[in-house]
Amino acid sequence: MAVPTPRGVPTDPGTVAVPPDLAELLRARLEDVAAEVQEEVRRQVPEYARPADGIYGRNLRAGVVQALTLFVDHIADPRGQGAAIAATYYELGRGEALEGRSLDALQSALRVGGLHAWRLLGRTAEELGLDSTVVATLGELAFRTVHEVAEAAAAGYAEARSHSTDELERRRRRLLDLLLGDGPVSPEAVQDLAHGARWRVPSRVAVVTLAATADPQAADGPPAMPGALTDMGSRPPRVLVPDPEGSGRFGGRSFLLGLQGRPAAIGPTVPVTEAAQSLRWATRALGLMGRGILPRQGVVRCADHLSTLLLHSDEPLLAQLRTRALAPLDAASEGQRARLAETLLAWLLSGSNVPDVAARLHIHPQTVRYRLRQLEKLFGDALHDPGARLDLILALRSTHES
């Protein structure tokens, strides 16, 4: 444990002589002064306004006595470093951080306690009729003492916060790995890890996958999503969002700004133990965005493109369907195939309504009828078979999207 060396405080209290017996006189008053200082801290700093009995009260009293002892030790030996007492305050800072107090509360307590202690001990010095230069020297020593214990406490606080944050991140990463892993997810295991990660387990979640940022200089940080579990180091980066149907969750300004121009895919909302399924479909959607099958930019919700995702869930099987269903078009010339395929898809989707097809394709109805006669020759009765028509729609849709 490294206790910091105080900076910006007097290291040499000067050459003014302090009566050698003053330290012992002040030491005799330590217990009484400590009791008053403890009460003053509890009165002025709300975070410390706890009952004085019990372990907490004893620890606070011990800390006050330690600081006062350091002050008196500096009087007895101005060159002393008080390493043991600084170590005590280092541990006090650590304890405050682990208990969830703010550093401001701790520093306030040290300032209030130090000022009140100086008033009490300084009064004793005045009662002894000490010269003003001696009193000033004692003030420097008091200033030095407050800084020493404050810096030691701040260092302990920072160390504990850093360790606590790192450990919390590790626990959340383990939780995310469990939720998005390949194996079955036990609700009991989720609850156990979530408790250690300080994460409230929601009933439903969704996973967001992120494409690379449009700005290579931009920080690869996660979008602002309260309670989200993130893994920006995975490829693609992923964010597990609790209660995704909450108001403004994905449409809020903070979420869009947090994307920093990155395309993103939002997986389906699923029970928390099925989060891996949401990840699978979000990853699939992001891949289709990259190929232009789904919009390349902005945010794509899987829930809005279920048929496309289903259609492209097995690419080899889809290729087989295209080959079989569209084989009759091979008999047409290369220049005719694209026009006939476009007309056939519009005709199938419009319920065989010729005027609607003409309006959709911006061509004359006679042109539509001419092409339909060609299609009748190529496909025959298949154009009127419900199963064949469905296969044609799927095959033509996938070809049109690609």
Q: What architecture (CATH level 2) is domain 315-401?
A: Orthogonal Bundle (1.10)
- Third-level CATH fold of 22-166: Globin-like (1.10.490)
The domain locations on the chain are 22-166, 203-310, 315-401
Determine the Cα–Cα distance for residues 402 and 396; give it in Å rounded to an integer. 10
Provide DSSP, 48-82. Answer: G-S-SSHHHHHHHHHHHHHHHHHHHHHHH-TT---
pLDDT in tens, the chain (402 residues): 444 443 433 444 444 456 666 777 777 777 887 788 778 887 887 766 666 555 555 666 676 777 777 777 766 665 555 566 677 778 778 877 766 667 787 778 778 877 877 777 677 777 777 777 777 777 787 777 778 888 888 888 887 776 666 777 888 899 999 999 988 888 999 998 898 888 999 989 999 999 976 555 555 666 767 788 989 888 899 999 998 876 556 766 667 777 777 899 999 999 999 999 999 999 999 999 999 999 988 899 999 999 889 888 888 898 898 899 999 999 999 889 999 999 999 999 988 899 999 999 999 999 999 999 999 999 999 999 999 999 999 898 888 765
Give 101's DSSP letter: -
Cβ neighbors of 341 (< 8 A, separation 6 or more) are 326, 329, 396, 399, 400
Give 173's DSSP letter: H
Determine the Cα–Cα distance for residues 344 and 47; give it in Å rounded to an integer. 75
Determine contact, residues 392/325, Cβ cutoff 8 Å: yes
Determine contact, residues 241/205, Cβ cutoff 8 Å: yes
